[in-house]
């Protein structure tokens, strides 16, 4: 499992190192949540060679997490190099933005990865931030060979544009996760306020069950209002970045 993180961010500077609960930074929380999936599924922090990301490597080492350092902007190349270094055939991604990512959904994918015929597994129609992607490395190799840009932050766009790449959907998604009126991604100051408030209300734990979080928020939609309005900004920013990259090619 690859946790993808770097300290440089524009909309919320240094967000990986911000406190999400007293004494706990975002990246510490995410690494601990990733490790909760189980010892059979090693966690690898994929970060950059930039000096500013030394702190992330130090934190990962304290948390007992392996690391790989690669390209700053080319996420696909960083993943490919990490997969080669650790002899990985497939992996699930766990972005440091996604503090409520579901360990159970990730585990379900990893246990059944060989059963999927597709190169990229996504989870459409779910709350943003519950599941990112499942990636087959052979498909990743195709994407890296075909891409014409070194800025691959919007990595799914490069998969979609690569001939022969197959994209599928995650199986066995709990119906309560199939809603689009909540936002579990950290990109804006309002997102930080949202996560801090939820942890304050529920009590901090890196292992909070997503079912419990969703059920709680469904009865407290005033908390959802803290950041959900940012979802349109988030989508529009992604679309803008994709269009800019297309214009360069």
- Domain 2-248 matching CATH 3.40.50.620: the answer reads no
- What mean pLDDT comes out for the span 79-86? 97
By the 10 Å C-beta count (0-12 exposed, 13-18 middle, 19+ buried), 82 is classed as buried
pTM for the model: 0.91
Cα 124 to Cα 21: distance, rounded to the nearest angstrom = 30
Query: 156 with 162: CB under 8 angstroms?
Result: no
pLDDT tens readout for residues 90-135 = 999 988 999 999 999 999 999 999 999 999 999 999 999 999 999 9
Q: What is the pLDDT of residue 82?
A: 97
pLDDT tens readout for residues 42-66 = 999 999 999 999 999 999 999 999 9
Beta-bridged to residue 63, according to DSSP, are none
Sequence-ordered list of residues with C-beta below 8 angstroms from that of 22, at least 6 positions apart, any chain: 204
The two tokens of residue 140 are: 């990743």
- What mean pLDDT comes out for the span 180-186? 94
Mean pLDDT, the chain, integer: 91
Question: Do the strands 90-95 and 2-4 form a parallel or antiparallel pair, or are they unpaired?
Answer: parallel
């Amino acid at each position: 499992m690859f946790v993808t993180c770097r300290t440089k961010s524009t909309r919320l500077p240094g967000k990986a190192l911000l406190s999400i609960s007293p004494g706990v930074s975002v990246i510490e929380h995410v690494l601990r949540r990733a490790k909760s999936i189980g010892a059979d599924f090693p966690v690898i922090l994929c970060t950059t060679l930039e000096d500013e990301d030394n702190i992330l490597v130090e934190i990962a080492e304290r948390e007992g997490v392996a690391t790989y350092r690669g390209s700053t902007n080319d996420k696909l190349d960083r993943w490919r190099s990490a997969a080669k270094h650790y002899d990985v055939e497939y992996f699930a991604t766990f972005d440091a933005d996604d503090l409520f990512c579901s360990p159970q959904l990730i585990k379900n994918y990893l246990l059944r990865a060989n059963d999927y015929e597709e190169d990229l597994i996504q989870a459409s129609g779910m709350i943003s931030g519950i599941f990112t992607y499942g990636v087959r490395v052979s498909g990743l190799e195709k994407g890296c060979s075909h891409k014409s840009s070194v800025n691959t932050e919007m990595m799914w766009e490069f998969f979609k544009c690569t001939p022969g790449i197959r994209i599928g959907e995650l199986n066995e998604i709990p119906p309560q996760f199939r809603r689009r009126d909540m936002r579990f991604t950290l990109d804006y100051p309002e997102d930080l306020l949202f996560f801090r408030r939820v942890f304050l209300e529920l009590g901090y734990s890196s292992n909070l069950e997503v079912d419990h979080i969703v059920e709680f928020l469904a009865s407290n939609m005033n908390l959802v209002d803290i950041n959900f309005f940012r979802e349109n900004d988030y989508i529009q920013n992604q679309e803008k970045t994709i269009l800019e990259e297309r214009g360069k090619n």
